Chains A and B, each alone.
Chain A
Amino acid sequence: MNRQQAELLLQQNFKLPKFYDEQWKTIDRVLNGGRVLLIEKTGFGKSLCFQFPATVFNGTTVIFSPLIALMRDQEKKLQSLGIAAKCINSEQTPEENSQIIEEAKRGKIKILYIAPERQENNEWIEATRQMHLSMVVVDEAHCISVWGHDFRPAFKRIINLVKLLPKGLPVLATTATATKRVEQDIAQQIGGGITILRGNLMRENFKLFVAKVNSEDEKMIWLGKNIEKMPGSGVLYTGTRIDTEIYSKWFNYLNINSTAYNAGLDANSRIAIENGLMKNQWKCIISTNALGMGIDKPDIRFIIHTQIPQSPIHYYQEIGRAGRDGETAYIILFYNPNEDKKLPEAFIEGGRPSIKKYEKVIECIKTGLFSEREIIKHTNLKQSQFRVIKADLLEQGIIREVNYSHSKKYEFVPNSQSLNTKAFEELRAAKTKDLEQMIEYIDTTDSRMKFLCDYLGDNTNHVFTNCDNTGEKKIKVIVADEWTAKLQEFRENYFSELVVESRDSNIINGVAASYYGVSNVGDAIHRSKYENGGDFPDFLLRLTLKAFRKKFGNEHFDLILYIPPTKSGDLVKNFAEKLSQVLKITISHNLKKVRETKEQKIFENNYLKHENVSNAFSYISPSEIIGKKILLFDDICDSCATIKEIGKLLTNLGAIKIAPIVIAKTVGGDLV
C-alpha cells in the first residue's frame, strides 16, 4: 500500500486528511512487518501509527497499555468512528472481560487494548491460541526500562513476549518520554532489528514558570489567590495523597471548584473524575502523579506542581498533557529550597529496603510456595517494601511469579545469580543525578524548554521565548495579611476524615483532629505517651472537640467508649473522660482486651495489624450496647485496624452507629 492509497483509507475511516511525514514513515514500516520504536511528543498522533495499520490488517491488533484511562478514552473514540475497538481491564467485571475475549476469538475486534498484567491471565492465554493476531503494540514503552521514570515490572513479560513473536509480525513501541539511555535500553530489549524514529520534543505553546517560595503557606496563598485567574481548567500536582486532600479542602474553603484525585480512590470515583475533567467540570483537579499519563484531553490550559518531581523526565511527562491542542498552556513549578528536595530524596534513598530485607524474602521463598500476603506475614514487611523487593528479585531472575489456580505464588529460581546490589547502587546514583538535573532546571537562567529538550536528547537549535527566563514575566509570591489570616482560619477548621466504613459493620467514617508527624499535635502526643509528659494537654482536647463539632455537629451519642491501650497507661481513658464531661455523653469503661496484643506500630503491614487485634476485644455488659449510638475514641490511628475491629464487635452486639474520633492520624502508607 502506498501513501496515496493509505491516505484515501485514512479519510474514509478516520476522517483525517493526511499523515504527517513521520507518521507515514512509521506506518509504512509497520505495514511491511517491521519493528519500530517511535518517540514523539504528546499530541503528535502516535496512536494513529498503530490504529491505522490495525484497520488495514486482517486480524486483531493487541495494544499493551498500562493506562486504563487511556484505554477507555481511545476505545470510545475509535468506536465513534465505527472501528471495532475494545479494552480488557481490571476495572471491568470478569463477565465483561470474558465477553470481549469471546468477541476477539471470533475475530470481531480489530483493536484490543489490554494491560500488561493480563499476560498472567489463563483465560487471556487461552484466547490468544484462537485469535488471528496481526500486530503487537507496546504503548508507553518507557515502562520497559528501569532507567526511565516509570518502570513497571509487568512490562518485563511483554518484552519476553515480543522476543518470542515471529519475524515479520509488526511490533510498534511508542513513548513520549525517553532519554537516549532509555531509548537504547528499549531498543536493545525489543531487539529484532528495531528501527528507532525520534521526533522533536519541544512544546512551543507551553509557557514555563518556576516560582521559588519559602513555605507551603506561600504556595497555598498564591494558588488560592490566582488559580481562578488562570485560563480554562487544569491540573495541580502535589507530592502526596494527603496534599491532594489538603489543597482540595483549601480550594473548597475558598469556593474554588476543584476535586482531589489519587490512586487511593476507588475505580468508580476515578472514572467519574476523569470524565468530569474531560467536561471541564472543575477549574482544577488536584492530583498525585496517578493522574496524567493517558488523559487525552486537548485543552488542559495549565499544569502546576506544588512539589518538584524526581527528574526532568518525570516533569516533562507530567506537563506533557497540557495544551495538546497547540494553544497556550501555563506550566508552573513551585519550589521551596528549604523543604521540597526532601520528598524526592526520600523516594530515592528510602525507595529500596535494606539488603537484609531482600535476604529475608529470598529465604522465605526458598522454604515454600507462598503468596504475596503469606510472604508479607512471614517477613513482617510493608506491602510497599515487599513490592519493591519483589520487582527487583523478578528483574534479577532470582524469583519468579507463577499463577496457581488464580493465586499468584512466588518461586525461587534454582541456580539463579545472587542478589546484585551493585545494580541498586547504579540506579540510585542515576536517580540522584536526575534529581540534581531537576534542581538545575529550577535554577537555570536560560530557556527552560531548551533545558528539557537537551535533557531528553533532543538537541535543538531552536530559539525559545516561552519561559520566565526568556521574556515571560516571573512569578513573585507576595503574602498579604488578609491571606495569611484566611489560611490560618482554614487550618483551624480543617479536619481529616477517618475512612473506615464497611459493609459488614455499623461503623461510620470518623474524624481526626490532626495529623501525627507533621504538626505540634504529634509532638504533644509523643511527649505524653513516650516521655512521661503526663496527660494529653488541653489544647488537644479543644482541637478534638472542634473536630467533633465539625464532623458530627449536634448529633446525639449514647455512649463514649475508648480503646483499651497496649502500653500508655490511662492517657486515653483520662482524655475520654474529659470528652465525656464536655460533651455530656456517658462514658463506659466496659470495652476490654481479652488477650494481650502488641503495639500496632511494630507491624509493617495491614495483614499483621489485623491479625494482632482480631478477636482481641470484648464488652463486659453487652446488653448496654443494644440500639446505642457510640462515639469511639482513640489517641492515634494508623491503619485503623483496631477501630474497624471494635466497630465489628459493637455491631455484632447490637450498636446501631459507631463513630470514631482520634486526636491524630499518622502520615504514612501510600503516597500517590
Chain B
Amino acid sequence: MNKETAYWMSLAHELPAWSFSNQSGWKNEDKINLIIQFYYEKKMTIEVFFSLSKEVWKTEFLLSEQRIAELQTCKLTIANYSFLAENMESSGIEAVPLISQDYSKTLKENLKKSAPIVLYIKGNKQIMSEESVAIVGSRDASDIALQFTDNIAKSVSEKYKVIVSGFAKGVDKQALDSSIACRGQSIIVLPQGIMTFESGFKTYYKQIIEGDVLVLSVFHPKAGWGKDLAMARNSIIYGLAKEIYVAEAKPSINRQGKETKGGTWTGVVDGLKKGRTIYVRQPENSEKNDNKILIQKGAIAVDNKGNVILKDSSKYVQKIFSF
C-alpha cells in the first residue's frame, strides 16, 4: 500500500482541467511540471509538498494565486480520496503514480508530458515492463481483419510479448481472446474507471490471478463508460505499446448521424504525427475501409501474417524486425 495514493488521486483528478472554455485550467503538462519541481528537483514527497504553506508554494514554486487556491481546494479532497483509495486497494486495484518504478516506462517515453499522473491497475503489473504490441481496429471489423488480429496476437504471444488492446467489440476483443487462448499476456486498457469494470473482473478472474491479464485505466476510478473516454483511451493503448498493428480502420457514425473517421483513424494519424511506426494491414481491393489511406499517409503495409510489404516490390518480403 502506498500511503500517498490519495494525494496522487487528488492531484490527478481534482485540479480544474484546461479546456477551450477554461484556458487557465491545468494541462497534464502543468501537473507534470509541478511534479518535476517538487519530486525530482526538490526531492520532496507529495505529502510534504501538500503540507507546505501558501507562501512556500508562491516563493519556491512560483505558483500564481489562482493556482495556489486551486491546489488548496485540491488538498481538501485528499481525505475524501483516502476512503475511495482504501476501498479500491482492498479490491486489489492499485494506483501507480507517475513517479513509481512500476509505472510503464514505454508509456512515459511515448507520451512524455501527456503521460497520465496515475495508472489504476489490477493484475500482474510486471506485464507493463515486457515488450508490448498493440492491436487496434474497428468495433465492426470484417472477418479478414479478425483473422489478421488472431494471427498477430498468436504470433506475438508465442514470442512472449504482451498484447495491448482496448476492451471494445471487434478487433479489441479478438486480440484479447486470441492472447488468452494461447496463454499469452495481455493489457486491457479500459474506456472507463477501473472500479466500474466489475463484470470484466469476474470474467477474467482466472487470467488475472494467474498473471496473464493486467487491467489498466487512467480515468477516475468511478468514471462510467463514455465516448470521450474511449477516444482518450486510444492514446494510452498506443502509448503502452512498442509496436502498433492496425487490423482495420473504418469510418463510424456519430450521434448526429454523420460519418466520421473513427477512433482507430484518429489514433493512427496522431501516432504518425508523433513519428511512431505503425503497421497497417494491406486491404484487399474489395474492402471498404481506410487502411489504404493510412498506408498512403505513412503507415507501413503488412500482410495478413504481419509481414511488411515493401512498396517497391510486388512480392512479400519478410520484414527484419522482431516481434
Contacts and interface: CB of A to CB of B under 8 A. Distances in A.
B205 A160 contact: no
Given A411-B92, A411-B209, A414-B208, A165 B79 contact: yes
B3 interface: yes
A522 B79 CA distance: 59
Given A166-B47, A400-B90, A413-B92, A129 B206 contact: no
Given A128-B80, A130-B80, A414-B208, A163 B87 contact: no
Interface string B54-87: 0000000000000000000001101111111111
Contacts of A368: 205-206
B323 interface: no
Interface string A120-144: 1000011011111100000000000
Interface string A342-367: 00000000000000000000000010
Interface stretch (A24-32, A172-180, A402-410, A637-645): A402-410
Given A368-B206, A404-B198, A413-B92, A160 B1 contact: yes
A161 B211 CA distance: 27
A133 B79 contact: yes
A166 B6 contact: yes
B7 interface: yes
A126 B87 CA distance: 11
User: What is the predominant secondary structure among interface residues of chain A facing chain B?
Assistant: mixed
A404 B123 CA distance: 17
A335 interface: no
B114 interface: no
A167 interface: yes
A412 interface: yes
B231 to A, nearest CB: 25
A128 B47 CA distance: 21
A447 interface: no
B214 to A, nearest CB: 11
Given A400-B91, A411-B92, A164 B82 contact: yes
Contacts of A132: 76
Contacts, number: 91
B84 A404 contact: no
Interface string B193-232: 0000010011001101111000000000010000000000
Contact of B205 (A119, A169, A411, A413): A411
B50 interface: yes
Nearest to A367: B206
Given A133-B79, A161-B86, 12 more contacts: A120-B87, A125-B83, A125-B84, A133-B80, A165-B82, A166-B6, A167-B47, A369-B202, A401-B90, A402-B201, A413-B92, A414-B123
Contacts of B89: 160
Contact of A366 (B50, B78, B85, B209): B209
Given A119-B83, A125-B87, A166 B7 contact: yes
A157 interface: yes
A128 B210 contact: no
Interface in B11-55: 47, 50-51
B220 to A, nearest CB: 10
A669 interface: no
Given A125-B83, A129-B84, A403 B210 contact: no
B5 interface: yes
Given A161-B82, A167-B51, A402 B7 contact: no
A119 B86 contact: yes
Nearest to A136: B79
A168 B51 contact: yes
Contact of A405 (B84, B91, B198, B205): B198
B124 interface: yes
Nearest to B3: A163
5 contacts: A125-B87, A157-B90, A166-B75, A369-B205, A413-B209
Task: State the 9 A-B residue pairs at the shortest beta-carbon distance, nearest first.
Answer: A128-B83, A164-B82, A166-B78, A161-B86, A133-B79, A369-B205, A402-B91, A165-B82, A125-B87
Considering residues A161, A165, A166, which has the most beta carbons from chain B within 10 angstroms of its beta carbon? A166
Considering residues A168, A402, A403, A415, which has the most beta carbons from chain B within 10 angstroms of its beta carbon? A402
Interface string B161-202: 000000000000000000000000000000000000010011
A411 B89 CA distance: 13
